[in-house]
Amino acid sequence: MFLFQIDDELALKHLELQDANRLFQLTDQSRDHLRPWLTWVDQIKTAEDSKSFIQNSLKHFANRNGLTTGILYKGGLAGVIGFNSLDWKNGIGHIGYWLGAAYQGNGIMTRAASALIDYGIYALELNRVEIRAAVDNRKSRAIPERLGFVQEGQIRQAERLHDVYADHAVYGMLAAEWKQHQQHHLPTNQLAFEKM
């Protein structure tokens, strides 16, 4: 079980099978908000689909290929963040995230991403964290920009979003940069979880 208490109102936890209904409800309520940038939303039609997603995420974690967590805000499920993939050979973690429509504007994702980066760098000993977002997805791009990531480039037509191809902006943060610039990182002895 992965649980990371970030502050008094925010925590990251493994999604478990019993979270399927809550996850589906959040997805369903945020469908119009998420759909322009996340094509998988159209495949989530029932709570069973959310359950399958959770099962796949847990397998991914068991195989040390990734980590998917629910974002708990004041006890409620507000969104999802995680390492969509972990490249152990090269020490790279690729972060993905989404936030429910009702939870926008509370600084939730910036805090959640900062905590996940702390975990990746201090507990998993990653050398690099990468975030990619569609060039036109300003809200998603604002997260790495707020956290001091370097925009390293742009990948042309990196993703098909419904009927159009979207370019991706690529952001990177190196462990040495994060340790140097983050004044408020969590010391390793405060990380309430184990290494993968």
Domain with 98 in it: 3-189
- Look at residue 180 and tell me if it is in a domain: yes
- Look at residue 117 and tell me if it is in a domain: yes
- Look at residue 194 and tell me if it is in a domain: no
**pLDDT tens-digit readout, 84-120:** 999 999 999 999 999 999 999 999 999 999 999 999 9
- Distance (Å) of CA 182 to CA 16, 83, 142, 186: 31, 20, 17, 9
The CATH number that applies at residue 118 is 3.40.630.30
- Look at residue 196 and tell me if it is in a domain: no
- Look at residue 30 and tell me if it is in a domain: yes
- Look at residue 64 and tell me if it is in a domain: yes
The whole-model pTM stands at 0.90
**pLDDT tens-digit readout, 50-88:** 999 999 999 999 999 999 999 999 999 999 999 999 999
How many structural domains does the chain have?
1
